[in-house]
Amino acid sequence: MTVSLIRHGQTDWNAAGRMQGSSDIPLNDVGRQQARDAVELLRGSEWDVIVSSPLQRARETAQIIADGRGLELGRSYDLLIERNYGEGEGLTKAEIDQRWPDVRGYPGLETLDSVVKRGIEALDQVSADYADKKVIVVCHGTIIRYTLSELAGRDFDHIVNGSISTIERLTSGWAVRTVNGEPLSGVD
């Protein structure tokens, strides 16, 4: 099974550097274009279905890609919702640092362990629902970044809006093949 993880297109909060997390913020025009660009990046490869987080920025990105590729828009998975930034949602990093100098402990912030656990559970659920299919999953930067980091056993810096990262289900588990469209070095 092959899965391509695509980060949703840009929102106004992304552009302003605001933490949006589980807040349901829509795409902006740049984000819609990034979704159309992802359609082009996917040309030359075959896919069976596209699924997403239920948040509107991910769902709209998925719909644009589904329409552009002639794919079925499958279900949404609550497990794919972005990290909950608690009281930090809607704030910039500078505002968070000012209010809570220890960024790891501000009120309501979901732990990275929880994010990774949800990300892997979501992949396992998608795998169970679409076994042996090629699936596009549209979700969010933090959940993609830290789930890929866990699967690859190494850290990744940033997941770009509209970028495609690919993983493959092997008998031994998930193997990360590309991150932000770039092949992973040292992958067989």
Query: Where in the sequence numbering do the catalytic residues fall?
Result: 8, 82
18 is known to lie in a ligand binding site = no
**17 annotated as ligand-binding:** no
In whole angstroms, give the CA distance from residue 168 to residue 138: 16
Q: Which residues contact 106 (CB under 8 A, 6 or more apart)?
A: 86, 87, 88, 96, 99, 100
141 is in an annotated binding site: no
Structural tokens at position 16: 């302003």
Residue 9 in marked binding region? yes
Whole-number Å distance between alpha carbons of 75 and 163: 21
CA dihedral 76, 89, 144, 3 (to 10 degrees): 20
72 in a labelled binding site: no
The side-by-side arrangement of strands in the sheet containing 2-7 is 72-76, 49-52, 134-139, 2-7, 164-170, 173-179, 182-183
Strands 72-76 and 173-179: unpaired
Report how far apart, in Å, the C-alpha atoms of 83 and of each of 20, 110, 136, 173, 188 are.
9, 6, 20, 24, 31
| 46 known member of a binding site | no
> Does 28 count as an annotated binding residue?
no
**Is 59 assigned a ligand-binding role in the annotation?**
no
Query: Any known ligand binding at 174?
Result: no
11: annotated binding-site residue?
A: yes
Looking at this protein, which amino acid is placed at residue 2? T
**99 annotated ligand-binding residue:** no
Binding-site residues, please? 7-14, 57, 82-85, 93
Residue numbers belonging to the annotated binding site for substrate: 7-14, 57, 82-85, 93
